[in-house]
Amino acid sequence: MKRVGAQTIVFDKNIYIESVGTVVGPKEREGPLGSSFDRAYDDLYCGEQSWELAERRLMKEAITVCLMKGNVQTQNVDLFIAGDLLNQTVTANYVAGELDLPFLGVFSACSTITEAMLVASTFIDGAFARRVLVATSSHYGAAERQFRFPTTIGVQKGDSASWTVTGGAAALLSTTRSPFRIRAATIGRVIDNGVTDPLDMGRAMAPAAFATIRQHLIDCGLSLEAYDVIVTGDLGRVGSSELKSLCHDTGMNLSERYDDCGVLIYDAEQQAFAGGSGCACCAVVAYSYFLEKMREKKIKTMLVVATGALFNSTMVKQNQSIPAIAHAIAIEAVT
């Protein structure tokens, strides 16, 4: 493992994504990627008594699917790294208690999945762990209740608003050979663009995504053409447009190699405003749709740049701006 440039780690060991699991809610199942996910529920309660308990079930079930697909027992996992959007990462904490594994809780808002993968890869490359389980989750009802206005109030939202993805995702990272290898990771910096509207998170996060993509390319001495796909986590249509504009102004042409998980997960007819967001958004799309494209050899190299708006309800009520961050993971197909 070595640091290159200002913010990037290149891993010496071959670190693989051994298996993944994705579980989603009804809106995600009905979207254009619905057939890509491992499991889906018909309602937001997922058979539980509250939205928070439903989110816990989503993360647990994603982990169950991941371990089953990898034919790995819990006792063969050295470390569990997970996070979510709820206060004190409560979903991950409860799940960790049931798994009874050494646990690190991480939080980076909607970029939590790439932060978890970055930390896990560092542990494996440094020989501190052989196999690490990472997981994230989010839930539309639970997130809306905590961060913005409860849905039941009926507050109108503009086209820049995002729709929190209901889902859970898990991945096993290890040195066991698989079709997907993690080559490098770039740690993001917190960037505050002065946006104060929690219904305009795409615009708040776009500068952070731009900064991380640019720094990754500088650190690694690469051009955009080094990646078949560059995918952001949940900028949505508004944030994606802002990112493209920022790249264009500096001579970086993302062109057709760019996608956003928040844009892809819902159809326009589903009325999800600017698109999806939440800790599960990037994870469920990257682990299903994009890894499958890599498995089918439609893409060979991919830079996953999950983005996070680092705010809470108290700061928003005080009209404070919303800082943001983006972490990147470089994944390549194994031939």
Helices 51-70 + 90-99 axis angle, to 10:
50
Mean pLDDT of each 10-residue bin along the chain, 335 residues long: 94 97 97 97 95 97 98 97 95 97 97 98 97 97 71 58 88 97 98 86 93 98 96 93 93 90 90 83 98 96 96 82 96 94
Q: How far apart are CA 47 and CA 158, in angstroms?
A: 31
The CATH number linked to 265 is 3.40.47.40
CA angle 331, 332, 335 (to 5 degrees): 155
**106 domain residue, yes or no:** yes
Please, what sign has the CA dihedral across residues 242, 22, 25, 266?
positive
Q: 211 and 166 in one domain?
A: no
Report the half-sphere exposure of 294 (CA within 13 A, side-chain side): 28
Q: How far apart are CA 323 and CA 243, in angstroms?
A: 16
pLDDT for residue 144: 76
Which of 130, 151, 174 is the last residue before a domain boundary? 174
Phi and psi of 262, rounded to 5°? -65, -30
pLDDT for residue 327: 98
Q: What is the CA radius of gyration of the chain?
A: 18
Under 8 Å between Cβ of 93 and 86: no
Which of 120, 140, 174 is the last residue before a domain boundary? 174
pTM to 2 decimal places: 0.95
Q: How far apart are CA 268 and CA 32, in angstroms?
A: 10
- Name 305's bridge partners: 232, 328
pLDDT for residue 1: 75
Number of domains in the chain: 2
pLDDT for residue 148: 58
Under 8 Å between Cβ of 147 and 139: no
What domain range includes position 320? 180-333
